Chains A and B, each alone.
Chain A
Amino acid sequence: EPEVTQTPSHQVTQMGQEVILRCVPISNHLYFYWYRQILGQKVEFLVSFYNNEISEKSEIFDDQFSVERPDGSNFTLKIRSTKLEDSAMYFCASGTASNQPQHFGDGTRLSIL
């Protein structure tokens, strides 16, 4: 069964550094998403991406965050200057249509020191 893959599985970074989280969505999917989950809390929407542009973003997704689909397969989330409160599990998801279920990758655990 096709799956969403994410790398790295765990990223440890010093506060203030830039990080790039990588995702390879399922190949025939057109809709791409990033979510995060702070330990012990619920999953929160960050951003959605369709037709090579951001479709929606949450209030969490400020100007320190950016997303890119640099080629036909990768979808990346960049945090320019990380803060302690960015420590969380980051999940990439993809879907075939806007009202269809989203399939999640196994996440990147981001730890900011």
Chain B
Amino acid sequence: RKEVEQDPGPFNVPEGATVAFNCTYSNSASQSFFWYRQDCRKEPKLLMSVYSSGNEDGRFTAQLNRASQYISLLIRDSKLSDSATYLCVVNRPQGGATNKLIFGTGTLLAVQP
């Protein structure tokens, strides 16, 4: 089983649509959870951290369910500029000082005019 699993997509949606991405992780010891976005051939950019209580940033809402080891991202009122690959990212605690991130393969979103 992959450590971080995402639906690869692509998700093709019209402008203004609401789209949801799901992700599952296998390591129950993981403590930090993030959504990054990556444009074609560019670096991953932090979209938001994900907390158990859920968090919202404008049109974006992230949820974490630790019992199910499940993370979600909801984008409301999609814009053309939201077109990108969305990466589910989880830390793998190793007992060391640093925070090794494990990336999902990403879900490609294409917002159509």
Chain A interface residues (CB < 8 Å from chain B)? 31, 33, 35, 41-45, 48-51, 55-56, 58, 89, 91, 95, 98-107
Contact B100 A48 (CB under 8 A): yes
Nearest A-chain residue to B92, judged by Cβ: A45
For residue B80, CB closer than 8 A to chain A, the reply is: no
CB contacts (< 8 Å) of A41 on chain B: these are 105
The smallest C-beta distance from B83 to any residue of chain A, in angstroms, reads 18
B binding-site residues for A, Cβ under 8 Å? 31-32, 34, 38, 41-46, 49, 87, 91, 94, 96-106
Q: Could you tell me if A104 and B101 are in contact, using CB atoms closer than 8 angstroms?
A: no
Docked pose: A49 CA to B98 CA in angstroms? 7
Query: Do residues B96 and A56 form an inter-chain contact, with CB atoms below 8 A?
Result: yes
* 15 A-B contact pairs sorted by A residue (CB < 8 Å): A31-B98, A33-B98, A42-B103, A42-B104, A43-B103, A48-B100, A55-B96, A55-B98, A56-B100, A95-B99, A98-B97, A98-B99, A101-B49, A103-B46, A105-B43
Task: Return the contact of B31 from the options A49, A51, A89, A99 (Cβ within 8 A).
Answer: A99
A106: chain B residues within 8 A (beta carbon): 42-43
**B97 x A55 contact (CB < 8 A):** yes
Most A-side CB within 10 Å, residue of B32, B42, B44:
B44
B106 touches A42 (CB 8 A): yes
